Amino acid sequence: SQQGEEDPQALSIQEGENATMNCSYKTSINNLQWYRQNSGRGLVHLILIRSNEREKHSGRLRVTLDTSKKSSSLLITASRAADTASYFCATDARPRSGYSTLTFGKGTMLLVSP
């Protein structure tokens, strides 16, 4: 079953606008990550936020984490056409073996128009 669920499923904005995507999850996590997938390509890691962190920045990316609400948001500021991609949140789960595995959500498709 999916651990993370992104919202919205699709988002269409103009260049220069900000894009916000949300992720909700069900169980306790060690960390939450965001990945980007360009059409027909593999996923690329963007940013990681640990369970004891509330906010993190990387360039034009800002991630927040609210463990009490079991939710995270990814903000992309001043969007560019090159930001057009699908964005996935992934949560760190520890099954019976004790090793870390990542569980991905269904993703948000972002379209940035020139």
Partner 1 sequence: NAGVTQTPKFQVLKTGQSMTLQCAQDMNHEYMSWYRQDPGMGLRLIHYSVGAGITDQGEVPNGYNVSRSTTEDFPLRLLSAAPSQTSVYFCASSQQGAGANVLTFGAGSRLTVL
Site string for partner 1, 71-90 (x = CB under 8 A): -----------------x-x
Q: Which CB sits closer to partner 1, 42 or 114? A: 42
Out of 20, 22, 24, 31, name the contact with partner 1 by CB under 8 A. 31
Q: Which residues pair with 31 in a beta bridge?
A: 50
Q: How far apart are CA 80 and CA 15, in angstroms?
A: 5
Strand runs (DSSP E) across 8-93, as ranges? 10-14, 19-24, 31-37, 43-50, 55-58, 61-66, 71-76, 85-93
Which residue type sits at 37?
Answer: Q
Q: Which CB sits closer to partner 1, 59 or 114? A: 59
Q: How far apart are CA 22 and CA 30, in angstroms?
A: 18
Q: Which CB sits closer to partner 1, 83 or 92? A: 92
Q: Least distance in Å: CB of 67 to partner 1?
A: 16
For binding to partner 1 (CB under 8 A), which residues are involved?
1-2, 30-31, 33, 35, 40-45, 48, 50, 88, 90, 92, 95, 97, 99-107
